Structure formats: structure tokens, C-alpha cells
Amino acid sequence: EPEVTQTPSHQVTQMGQEVILRCVPISNHLYFYWYRQILGQKVEFLVSFYNNEISEKSEIFDDQFSVERPDGSNFTLKIRSTKLEDSAMYFCAIRVGEQYFGPGTRLTVT
Amino acid sequence: SQQGEEDPQALSIQEGENATMNCSYKTSINNLQWYRQNSGRGLVHLILIRSNEREKHSGRLRVTLDTSKKSSSLLITASRAADTASYFCATDADRDDKIIFGKGTRLHILP
């Protein structure tokens, strides 16, 4: 099973600050995804990324969000100006047949 | 939109009993997956069943898929305390498409 790590495991930030969440798949992959899960709610799709381009994004993924793969291995999700409602678990996933999820980053915006 | 909806929302059973959770979705799918999530933790992939399969087993897990009814069930036999978690079904339609998760069933195994 492909291994996906995410850093940090927990991020606390003040409202209005920028955060960068990182995803590191152990081996090379082409399909990447970000999902989020607000506490007590279901997992929601944010964005899919294929061949270094966004292939699909949800309504949640507005101009405050961006993704990139800066060095060919890390896959990052940036939130430019965090809001309280951005507090959630953020999961990175890769696709190898089915999707494999990282352990998540818990983002707390205060 | 395709969307998995689990039923029941919460389920409490005695250790050793079987737990059955159901999932319904709205549109055609390529496959359906079940995930487990312990409180506040990551998503653990349990099993994937393809649209041309009707039943699949993995250890104490049994998954069925009825594409005519757009529904799936997850059966956990001989439940254990460690099975206490939330269980989500998730569907996708295209090879590089997103996964749509249901709201999940919170399973509590009573000692």
C-alpha cells in the first residue's frame, strides 16, 4: 500500500494568517487530491491535481486556496488568509487504483 | 451529484455481534469503497468493490453492492471493541475523479 505522509500533524494559526500544508507521497505519483473534514462532518473534496495541473476543484476551493507541487515530490495546499471556518482536518490522497489517504493535518484557526 | 449516504447514522451493538451498515448513492459509479475513521484520526481504507462485482470479503468484512438499487452494505462479523469507529462509504465515477463520501455511520461496540 502506497505510503503518504503529511506535515505538520497539527497546525494552529491565527485568523488571517497564511498556512501551507504539505503532503509527501513516498514514491512518484500523478494523481493528487486534497479533502477536508470539519469536526463531526463528512469528508469533502477540495481539489484534484493531475500532471501538475488542477483537474477539478469544488466550490470550497476558492481564491484563498492554492495547490502546487514545487519540487516534484511535495504536494502543498496553501490557504492565504485563514478564517475560523477553515478549522478542519485536511487530508491528502494519491490514486493508485483506489485512493490512499495520508494521516491528515488538523488545522485550528483561532 | 453522486453521494453516499450511510444508514444508520449511529449503531451500538454488543461485542461479538455482527454489525451491518448500509450506503446508498445517486449516480452510476466505477467502484465503491469503505473507509474507517477512529475519532479525530485518519482514514483507513477497508475494501473496494467494483461496479461489476456483487460481493467481496476481507477477513471479518463482507461488502455487497447492488447497482440496480444503488446501494451497498458493509457487514462486520464477530465485532470487537477495536471496531468502534466511524465508517464511511465513498464512490467515484471516473478514473481520475474525486471521491464522494457519505456522512458515515458511528459504530460503538459495547463490552
Q: Does B40 lie at the interface with A, CB-CB under 8 angstroms? A: yes
Q: How far is A15 from chain B (nearest CA, A)?
A: 22
A53 pLDDT higher than 70? yes
**pLDDT tens for residues B14-32?**
999 999 999 999 888 889 9
Which pLDDT does position A51 carry in this prediction? 79
Mean pLDDT score of chain B: 90
Residue A107 parent element (H or E): strand A105-109
CB of B75 within 8 Å of a chain A CB? The answer is no
Chain B positions in Cβ-Cβ contact with residue A42 (cut-off 8 Å): 88, 101-104
pLDDT reported for residue B95: 56
User: Which residue from B minimizes the CA distance to A47?
Assistant: B98
Per-residue pLDDT band at B46 (split at 50, 70, 90)? very high
Measured between alpha carbons, how far is B63 from A64 in angstroms, rounded to an integer?
A: 39
- Quote the CA–CA distance of A4 and B55 in Å, as a whole number: 29
pLDDT of residue A25: 73
Residue A62 predicted with pLDDT over 90? yes
Closest CB to B104: pick one of A42, A93, A98. Answer: A42
- Partner-chain residue, chosen from B42, B92, B102, that has the shortest CB–CB distance to A104: B42
Lowest mean pLDDT among A28-32, B75-79, B93-97: B93-97
How far apart, in Å, are the Cα atoms of A25 and each of A76, B32, B37, B55, B92? Answer: 11, 23, 20, 31, 21
Q: How confident is the model at residue B54 (pLDDT cuts 50, 70, 90)?
A: very high
Considering only CB atoms, A48 lies closest to which of B98, B100, B102, namely B98
Which of the four pLDDT bands, split at 50, 70 and 90, describes residue A31? confident
Which chain A residue's Cα is nearest to B6?
A42
Q: What's the confidence (pLDDT) of residue B1?
A: 45
Tens-place pLDDT, residues B93-108: 765 578 889 889 999 9
- Name the DSSP letter for residue A24: E
Q: What is the mean pLDDT of residues A49-60?
A: 89
pLDDT at A1 over 70: no
Q: Does B3 touch chain A (CB under 8 A)?
A: no
Q: How would residue B60 be classed by pLDDT, with cut points 50, 70 and 90? A: very high
The predicted-structure confidence for A68-105, as pLDDT tens digits, reads as follows: 887 777 889 999 999 999 999 999 998 877 788 899 99
The pLDDT of residue B3 is 64
